[in-house]
Copies of this chain bind each other. A is one copy, B any other.
């Protein structure tokens, strides 16, 4: 299994993110895909582009961040390429071996739609950084932590791979994931609850004039797993998640129809974070 994911500073590194965090994030972006596919990542390479003007400390920071990723997810850096570029570019290429890949198109009607964490907090963090949105200090800390230190659920993804009939990494946004799984599986979806932080996010949205649905569904940059599990196996799968100190949240179910319906009955749109959209 091979995966490449290119981090471009101008679009992928928000204000205040250190280059060390950027290096770590470039590894996280790949790890998140391996987590969703249930494949243990073995090793990675990095093609770096850096501006001639970047100070040595910047390069060292990037490399430290790659090291953080190595330690955190147990994956070795085995090579790469270094280039001069106009912007900091970190293309992470990850490799692993597996007999089984959790597909995008494996969901069947009557299964449960699950996610491994809450959505919308990262979007809120980006709004705080990019649009000056205001909020309570505790929420700000949580939101910026999500932005600067994304934490793909690798252990959980590897442990759940036998339970998930379909799965996808959510970094392009929850709505895009739900639609991709629905379309590729030939099912519809009825979402019954939006997985988010609750009152804190609602207050943030209200105070700054955002819709909670927009933050949760269309923001992107969360590194969670979105997937489906049969009803028969959900209790066991949730037991696995709680034994790892984390959670598997049921947010709806698959249907014989098409499209993805939100809790209020309105169709969820197929849009989110897409480069060059």
Q: List A residues at the B interface (Cβ < 8 Å).
A: 2-6, 8, 10-12, 45-50, 52, 78-87, 89, 91, 93, 95, 275-276
Residue of B nearest to A93 (CB): B93
| Pairs A–B under 8 Å by Cβ, sample size 12 | A2-B95, A6-B91, A8-B84, A10-B86, A45-B93, A47-B91, A50-B276, A52-B276, A85-B89, A87-B87, A89-B89, A91-B91
Complex alpha-carbon distance, A82 and B82, angstroms: 20
Q: Are B82 and A275 in contact (CB under 8 A)?
A: yes
CB neighbours of A89 from chain B (8 A): 6, 8, 49, 85, 89
Complex alpha-carbon distance, A78 and B45, angstroms: 17
Chain A contact residues: helix, strand, loop or mixed: strand
Q: Are B83 and A6 in contact (CB under 8 A)?
A: yes
Chain multiplicity (copies): 2
CB neighbours of A275 from chain B (8 A): 82-84
Q: Are B276 and A78 in contact (CB under 8 A)?
A: no
Q: Are B276 and A5 in contact (CB under 8 A)?
A: no
Q: Are A276 and B82 in contact (CB under 8 A)?
A: yes
| CB-CB under 8 A for A87 and B84, given A4-B79, A93-B93 | no
CB neighbours of A8 from chain B (8 A): 49, 83-85, 89
Residue of B nearest to A80 (CB): B4
Complex alpha-carbon distance, A20 and B80, angstroms: 24
Known: A6-B49, A81-B91. 12 other contacts (CB 8 A): A2-B78, A2-B93, A4-B79, A4-B80, A4-B93, A6-B81, A6-B83, A11-B85, A47-B91, A49-B89, A84-B276, A93-B93
CB neighbours of A276 from chain B (8 A): 50, 52, 82-84
Complex alpha-carbon distance, A68 and B48, angstroms: 25
CB distance from A172 to the nearest CB of B (A): 11
Residue of B nearest to A92 (CB): B47
Residue of B nearest to A78 (CB): B2
Residue of B nearest to A85 (CB): B8
Which 5 pairs, one residue from A and one from B, show the smallest C-beta to C-beta distance? A6-B47, A91-B91, A4-B47, A47-B91, A86-B86
| CB-CB under 8 A for A47 and B5, given A52-B276, A89-B89, A91-B91 | yes
CB neighbours of A82 from chain B (8 A): 275-276
CB neighbours of A49 from chain B (8 A): 6, 8, 89
Complex alpha-carbon distance, A250 and B108, angstroms: 64
Residue of B nearest to A51 (CB): B276
CB distance from A112 to the nearest CB of B (A): 29
CB neighbours of A48 from chain B (8 A): 6
